[in-house]
Amino acid sequence: MKTAMLLQTLENQLNRLRQHCAPLAHHTTLSARFDRHLFHTRSTLLQACLDEADDNLTALRRAVEQQQLPQITWLAEHLASQLEAISRETASWSLREWDSAS
């Protein structure tokens, strides 16, 4: 039951971030937004990071279904880090306006 609650919490947080990031999800930047260890995408669009986080949530669900404990642990921690990074990025967007590629 705890796992189902965790998955639901992560999904809710991702959905809230999608709504919050919508106005700037398609703005490109000159430099990478995040470290390569956190996000594998080469895109500087926030939308690409949201999509990667969504893919990791799907992978986490699959790992839970297959009861793969090491993958569950790593994916849950990684996804939580990704969501926190996206949240910080959106909160500090006004400070990065100089980094706009447009």
Instruction: Enter the pTM of the model.
Output: 0.86
- The answer, yes or no, to whether residue 98 has pLDDT greater than 60, is no
Q: How confident is the model at residue 96 (pLDDT cuts 50, 70, 90)?
A: low
Q: How confident is the model at residue 2 (pLDDT cuts 50, 70, 90)?
A: confident
The CATH architecture that domain 45-90 belongs to is Up-down Bundle (1.20)
Check residue 97 and give its pLDDT: 60
Neighbours of 101 (CB within 10 A): 9
Are the C-beta atoms of 67 and 54 separated by less than 8 Å? Answer: no
pLDDT tens by residue, 36-89: 999 999 888 999 999 999 999 999 999 999 999 999 999 999 999 999 999 998
Check residue 25 and give its pLDDT: 80
